[in-house]
Amino acid sequence: MNKNRKISLLRYWTTRYFVTLVIGLVIVAVISVLWIRHTNLENRLNVTIYLAQEIADRFIEENEGRTVPREGVDEYIQQRQNIIDTELDPIIYIVDVNGRILANPFNQETFTSDYFPVRILEVESDVQRLKLENGMQSYIVKRPIQTEGVTAGWVVIIQSASQLTQMNEEFRLLAIMLATLALIGWATIYVLSKKLSEPIQDVAQAAKHVQEQNYDFSLPEHNIREQEVHELVHSFKEMSLRLQQLESLRSELLAGVTHELKTPITSMTGLIQAVRDDVVEGEEAKEFLDVSLKEANRMKTMVADLLEFNSFAADAIPITLETYDVNKLAKEILHQWEIVNDEEGLTIQHYLPEENIEARVDSIRLQQILVNLMNNAKHALNGEGVISITVERKRPGVADIHIEDNGPGIQEEEQALIFERFYRGENKKYNTHGLGLGLPFSKMIAQSMHGDLLLTESRPGRTVFTLELPCERNEKS
């Protein structure tokens, strides 16, 4: 048997449940049979005792100084037997104190002599289980015949043990009940398993489509009432949609990255070729070489960004956390950036609180994040507009640095993708050069400092990025 052979969920659960159900029902059946046999034996012995007592009370009389049965004993016994239990076929003896058999109403001979064994009569218990001369296991029930307080004889009823425990009708009812329970149980688990397995089969089939990069499938979820299965289907649909977006994004970004790396190479090749072939000379040749050097440096920067991003993603670059005053650090970074980006149409505003806000950060990495965010804001404004930097602490243990601009904003459908690697929005594709690693890299750095970088708001005229940094725990609120 192949242990690696897979079977369907429906067959797996229904088969195992049915086997478990059958084992359980067999155990119930064995216990029920033993209990019913014991109950039948108890009840029928009680009936036999009751019958023996009635005979002893009503049909025994004194005649010429000795105990004899009254007339009509046979008819009464037959009548009572039919009323009490038609399945019982007792052997009834009426004997005197010496064991001499006075009457045998049904003429059934169990003992070879005319005397009943006295040893059986001398036992105190009213019920005995004995093996008779014919080898049959039987129960013997005896009740005393008393006249004026004196035992004058005995009514003895012998009943086969097999008859007392016989349960034909009970067996049939028990078998029908257990078979019905097995059928209902199996049908129930089959229906439930089928209902549960269908959406899982749909997900498995959809997974095959995704594996083949085919995202054209549908997964209904409105008819699913089970929360876990609904979450599975919904999560898979979200995942497949996300994969589809990433697949489309990957193709687009691969083309973009290739273009960004190819452009400086093409430019450098043409310029250097022109200088080598003496197409340009003198100052113009120097200018061509300067441009080629700038393009080489730009390509070097892009490759360095790729290497640094990959190293950071692999936790190969350590973060050195030290305690800094966020106000002071942000002010220094902003001042340095303003010196380099002193443009006439650009207005820089900053709002720093008077209180010190201390946090454990890597100052160099924090500068990378803020410079990248301010450069993005500058590109969004095309050199004309207002950039605002606000440092505040509205929540315990968290310092927020907001970088806001009054540019056109980020399109709503692009907002969920801006932190994806290599993603570049429609505006950036044609207006700025780069690999689309700035925001993902900045977010990764922020998270490595136990903070985060979020797009708080973006609409025409207002875009706000928020850098969250953990404050010192001993700082007072």
Domain ranges in the chain?
Answer: 9-169, 219-316, 322-470
| Terminal CA-CA length for the chain | 69
Contact 143, 124 (CB under 8 A): no
Q: What is the residue-wise DSSP string for 295-333? A: HHHHHHHHHHHHHHHHHHHTT-S----EEEEHHHHHHHH
Whole-number Cα distances in Å, 261 to 17, 173, 258, 264, 298: 62, 85, 5, 6, 9
Residue 295 has pLDDT above 60, yes or no: yes
Report pLDDT digits (tens) over 153-192: 888 888 878 777 777 777 788 888 888 888 888 888 888 7
The pLDDT score that the predictor gives to residue 348 is 83
**Amino acid letter, residue 322:** E
CATH code of the region 9-169: 3.30.450.20
Interstrand relation of 398-405 and 462-470 (parallel, antiparallel or unpaired): antiparallel
Q: How confident is the model at residue 474 (pLDDT cuts 50, 70, 90)?
A: very low
Instruction: Tell me the C-alpha distance between 34 and 36, whole Å.
Output: 6
The pLDDT score that the predictor gives to residue 362 is 85
- Architecture per CATH, domain 322-470, reads as 2-Layer Sandwich (3.30)
- CATH value of 219-316 in 3.30.70.20, 1.10.287.130, 1.20.1050.10, 3.30.230.70: 1.10.287.130
Instruction: Tell me the C-alpha distance between 106 and 77, whole Å.
Output: 9
Mean pLDDT over the full length of the chain:
76
Count of residues for the chain? 477
Flag the least confident range among 9-18, 134-143, 280-289: 9-18
Report pLDDT digits (tens) over 78-128: 666 665 554 566 788 888 878 787 777 666 665 556 677 777 887 888 888
**Angle at CA 120, nearest 5°, toward 118 and 122?**
70
Residue 346 has pLDDT above 50, yes or no: yes
- Does the predicted model carry a pTM greater than 0.85? no
Instruction: Tell me the C-alpha distance between 312 and 438, whole Å.
Output: 13
- Distance from CA of residue 388 to its chain's centroid? 48
Interior/surface letters 15-25, b for 16+ CB within 10 angstroms, e for the rest: eebeeebeeeb
- Residue 132 DSSP label: -
Instruction: Tell me the C-alpha distance between 201 and 371, whole Å.
Output: 50
Range of 287-301, 317-331, 434-448 with top mean pLDDT = 317-331
The pLDDT score that the predictor gives to residue 59 is 64
